Amino acid sequence: MTERTVAAGSTRLWSEDRGDPGDPPVLLISGDCQPGLFWPDEVVAALVGGGYRVIRYDHRDTGRSTHRDFAANPYTFDDLTADAIAVLDAWGVSAAHVVAFSMGAGLAQLIAVDHPHRMLSQTLICTHALGIDFADSVARAMAGETSRDGLPLPEPRVFEALELHAGPVHDRSAELDRRVAGWRTVAGDAFDPAEFRRREERVIDHAGTLHQSIAHGYVTEGIATRGADLARITAPTLVVQAPLDPISPPPHGRHLAGSIPGAVLVEIPGMGHALTGTALDALIPEVLAHLRR
């Protein structure tokens, strides 16, 4: 394992490289407000063992990357996409397979349309298509309204639970309890609180702080107007739909796969908006099979 700090303008991004530098590269992109360690070591080990070089990184405002006040230093999804490209540049990678989750899968779609030469393939997990105004969808869900596009809105219980568990960080145990409760709300079947507590302990140790930024929740520019661009994607695409995902519920995955030429859709039974151990047992073989295709 090798760590490297990547410069993206005035932002510094922590990154990590594992595997043989001569193997095909895979870039892992985490969801909103999640650092690179969002990706369990089981995923990294399976990819390295399958003959791939794996790179993961901390988004800005997560982990060991630069943290700033968002109101004073706003940015867009295009800026977050540029961060991912900066990571590839720093590691000397001209093009990579991209495996991405939630907001990270939105960034992957932007890479696919704006930087197609940098992408070998993409795997999009638990997400919605470019062209979906997620901020508007959340607002409409909380107001008890219907969607504008006929696709299901996020479930209000998710955001009610996040609000319930928000507040000042008192101590490590209380913060871990808060984070585990948040994952429980979205994770689907076979949720193991001890598993997620261990993961969040590593995330806290890695970041060196109990504070968890919510800056990505304020990013609104760069995705909602790009839906028509999906038809231009040429990268081989796997879309993973989680049947119990309360944030991007079915059929968001089917809609996304139908918007990208040649995309393949798979559903992982019992999966919610989280990488539980049970979900990974089914997900990892699908990802490896897609990379090998």
Q: Choose, from 102, 121, 137, 213, the residue flagged as catalytic.
A: 102
What is the three-class DSSP state of 259?
A: helix
Catalytic, 273? Answer yes
Which two tokens mark 194?
């001890």
What is the three-class DSSP state of 236?
A: coil
* DSSP result, 105-174: HHHHHHHHHH-GGGEEEEEEES---TT--HHHHHHHHHTT---SSSSPPPPHHHHHHHHHT-S----HHH
Catalytic, 245? Answer yes
CA 230 – CA 47 distance, rounded (Å): 27
Q: Choose, from 17, 61, 83, 245, the residue flagged as catalytic.
A: 245
Sign of the CA dihedral with 98 first, then 102, 103, and 106 last: positive
- The single-letter DSSP state of residue 250 is T
Q: Choose, from 67, 128, 255, 273, the residue flagged as catalytic.
A: 273
**Could you give the count of Cα atoms lying within 13 Å of 274 in the half-sphere of its Cβ?**
25
- Distances in Å between the alpha carbon of 226 and those of 18, 207, 242? 33, 33, 23
Catalytic, 128? Answer no
Catalytically active residues are 102, 245, 273
